């Protein structure tokens, strides 16, 4: 994203009822089930959802007490929690097929610790983290407000609030912001598409959404009436997995920074924390956020890379985009390596990832969330490295 001049930038979000997010939720529910039974279980679960059908497939290594019948029940309960009891997709009536099998021995031998060999990365790959000062969550503003709009709609719908009466779980939002010299100053357009009951008119949907969007955006940012698009097709009654097939891992830009920062390509949901696609992306965000929270820079992009079966990262790269405050990026890279053990085991232990904490990550983004000390969720959003970073750079 440019630092100079005037430009527009857009990000989108999708709700927990979007077909791909339904799949993510079920896959992360499976991860949580295994980690609750065994903190060192291995899971790589993919889910497909379509008209009254749910299919789970992938590889696992964990207690045999977790049966296919139990996983099918958990999938139904996840769908129930999202709110689907429609003719075309219902937690009661959907057919659930579970095709999970034992993890490949060839992968296990490369990843498992043995003798003097530390635990290796679960795959090769590159992972990115990002933080900036555009919002209080240190997230890019377009994705932050796209998520916030849908979270507020979801909260009202789940609470049975009259302000969301007749709205259904499947929804998408898109926010376009105007930037001047790298700073967001207003929204030039907002798009919200949301599934609704057949007897709810488009005018009524717009009437319900207008105050929700206005309250989610900063004061004075609401776009003109002509640039506020609500259900542009005119009707959205058939939705969710009945309207479109959903698959795990198809919303990786929604899950991260809305396109404002690079993405290594790996999805998160359905993977236990030995998979660096997930855990290393989390620690990248953690490190980048702490750099910005410490006041060392206004923007920070961080990259890690790994090889399957190898414990130490192959590289660590930090880019401050010219916003660093007398900070040498090479020294910063060295300091971050000293503060956090960036092996897969080190990341898991530092961020306490071997716990059933992943279902809440499956919607509204994995980043920019508030850590919950009681549930142990979103530990990668903590800023507990700030004192050490300030000390290292004389702040």
- Using DSSP, state whether 246 is helix, strand or coil: strand
User: Would the annotation count 165 as a binding residue?
Assistant: no
Q: Which residue has the tokens 């790269």?
A: 317
User: Would the annotation count 199 as a binding residue?
Assistant: no
Count of other CB atoms within 10 angstroms of residue 47: 27
User: Would the annotation count 183 as a binding residue?
Assistant: no
User: Would the annotation count 78 as a binding residue?
Assistant: no
User: Would the annotation count 271 as a binding residue?
Assistant: yes
Residue 381: phi and psi, rounded to 5, are: -95, 0
User: Would the annotation count 69 as a binding residue?
Assistant: no
User: Would the annotation count 46 as a binding residue?
Assistant: yes
Q: What is the DSSP letter of 43?
A: E
Rounded CA gap, 143 and 259, in Å?
8
User: Would the annotation count 85 as a binding residue?
Assistant: no
User: Would the annotation count 293 as a binding residue?
Assistant: no
Question: Based on the number of CB atoms within 10 Å of its own CB, is 234 exposed (0-12), middle (13-18) or buried (19 or more)?
Answer: exposed
User: Would the annotation count 275 as a binding residue?
Assistant: yes
User: Would the annotation count 329 as a binding residue?
Assistant: no
Rounded CA gap, 68 and 60, in Å?
12
Q: What's 50-101 look like in SS3? A: ECCEEEEEEEEECCCCCCHHHHHHHHHHHHHHHCCECCCCECCCCEEEEEEE
Cβ atoms of residues 303 and 128 within 8 Å: yes
User: Would the annotation count 68 as a binding residue?
Assistant: no
* Token pair in block for residue 264: 């290594």
- Using DSSP, state whether 6 is helix, strand or coil: strand
Binding-site annotation: residue ranges: 18, 20, 46, 59, 103, 170-172, 244, 250-251, 267, 271, 275
| Binding annotation for L-methionine | 59, 103, 244, 275
Annotated binding site for Mg(2+): 20
Residues at the binding site for K(+) are 46
């Amino acid at each position: 994203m440019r630092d100079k001049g005037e430009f527009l930038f857009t990000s989108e979000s999708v709700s927990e009822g979007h077909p791909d997010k339904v799949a993510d939720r079920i896959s992360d529910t499976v991860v949580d089930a295994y980690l609750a039974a065994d903190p060192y279980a291995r899971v790589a679960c993919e889910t497909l959802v379509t008209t009254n059908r749910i299919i789970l497939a992938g590889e696992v290594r964990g207690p045999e007490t977790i049966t296919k019948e139990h996983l099918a029940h958990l999938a139904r309960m996840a769908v129930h929690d999202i709110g689907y009891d429609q003719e075309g997709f219902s937690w009661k009536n959907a057919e659930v097929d579970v095709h999970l099998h034992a993890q490949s021995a060839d992968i296990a031998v490369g990843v498992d610790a043995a003798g003097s060999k530390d635990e290796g990365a679960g795959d090769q790959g590159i992972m990115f983290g990002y933080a900036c000062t555009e919002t209080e969550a240190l997230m890019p503003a377009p994705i932050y407000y796209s998520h916030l709009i849908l979270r507020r709609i979801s909260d009202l719908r789940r609470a049975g609030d009259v302000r969301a009466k007749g709205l259904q779980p499947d929804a998408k939002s898109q926010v376009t912001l105007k930037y001047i010299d790298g700073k967001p100053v207003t929204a030039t357009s907002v798009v919200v598409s949301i599934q609704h009951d057949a007897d709810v008119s488009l005018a009524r949907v717009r009437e319900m959404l207008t105050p929700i969007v206005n309250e989610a955006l900063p004061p004075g940012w609401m776009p003109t009436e002509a640039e506020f698009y609500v259900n542009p097709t005119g009707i959205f009654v058939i939705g969710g997995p009945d309207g479109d097939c959903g698959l795990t891992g198809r919303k990786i830009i929604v899950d991260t920074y809305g396109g404002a920062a690079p993405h290594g390509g790996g999805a998160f949901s359905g993977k236990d924390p030995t998979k660096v696609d997930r855990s290393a992306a989390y620690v990248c965000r953690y490190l980048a956020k702490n750099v910005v929270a410490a006041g060392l820079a206004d923007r920070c992009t961080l990259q890690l890379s790994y090889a399957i079966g190898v414990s130490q990262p192959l590289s660590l790269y930090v880019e401050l985009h010219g916003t660093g405050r007398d900070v040498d990026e090479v020294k910063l890279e060295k300091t971050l390596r000293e503060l956090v053990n960036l092996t897969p085991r080190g990341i898991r232990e530092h961020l306490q990832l071997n716990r059933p904490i992943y279902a809440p990550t499956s919607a509204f983004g994995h980043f920019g969330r508030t850590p919950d000390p009681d549930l142990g969720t979103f530990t990668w959003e903590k800023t507990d490295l700030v004192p050490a970073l300030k000390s290292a750079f004389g702040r």
